[in-house]
């Protein structure tokens, strides 16, 4: 397993925790495909799934930001936009043959996810819970 889910990543908010776990599961699926030398089409499909799931998850968080009037929403959305832009840029480079889905990409995704969970997402937990999300 490339990225091991740890209890410290859980916020006690079911919908968010489940989505984070799904993101980790897809990240691990991509890693497994890389190390088992899957076809370019297979890797591209899994990478696309990961990118699309990230957008779905970001939309969920941002819906709650709006609903709950989360004060850190704009800064958090900036992190989401930057991630989307990097993923689109990478996908374009990959499609043009200028990049490969590799362990270096996996390391970037792992670092981004770890830091995002610990340093960015953790900031909204109190707000979400105060508004009854569990």
Find the CATH number of the domain harbouring 34: 1.20.120.50
41 domain residue, yes or no = yes
Q: Which residues of the chain have pLDDT under 70?
A: none
Residue 2 lies in a domain: no
Query: Does residue 102 sit within a domain?
Result: yes
pLDDT for residue 112: 93
Could you tell me the residue range of the domain that residue 25 belongs to? 20-130
- Taking every pair of C-alpha atoms in the chain, what is the biggest distance, in angstroms? 48
- Tens of pLDDT, residues 22-39: 999 999 999 998 889 887
Q: Structural domain tally of the chain?
A: 1
Residue 13 lies in a domain: no
pLDDT for 58 equals: 97
- Residues 108-116: contacts with CB within 8 Å, 24+ apart? 109/27, 109/30, 109/50, 110/2, 110/3, 110/27, 112/83, 113/3, 113/23, 113/24, 113/27, 116/79, 116/83
Residue 29: the pLDDT is 93
| Residue 49 Cα distances to 25, 84, 87, angstroms | 11, 13, 11
Q: Is residue 15 part of a domain?
A: no
């Amino acid at each position: 397993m490339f990225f091991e889910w740890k209890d410290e990543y859980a916020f006690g908010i079911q919908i968010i925790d489940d989505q984070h776990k799904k993101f980790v599961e897809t990240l691990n699926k991509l890693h497994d495909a890389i190390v088992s030398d899957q076809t370019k089409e297979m890797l591209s499909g899994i990478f696309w799934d990961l990118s699309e799931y990230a957008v779905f998850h970001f939309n969920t968080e941002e819906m709650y930001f709006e609903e709950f009037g989360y004060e850190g929403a704009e800064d958090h959305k900036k992190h989401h936009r930057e991630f989307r832009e990097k993923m689109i840029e990478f996908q374009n480079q990959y499609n043009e043959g200028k990049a490969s889905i590799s362990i270096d990409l996996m390391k970037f995704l792992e670092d981004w996810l770890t830091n995002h969970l610990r340093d960015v997402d953790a900031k909204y937990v109190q707000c979400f819970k105060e508004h009854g999300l569990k």
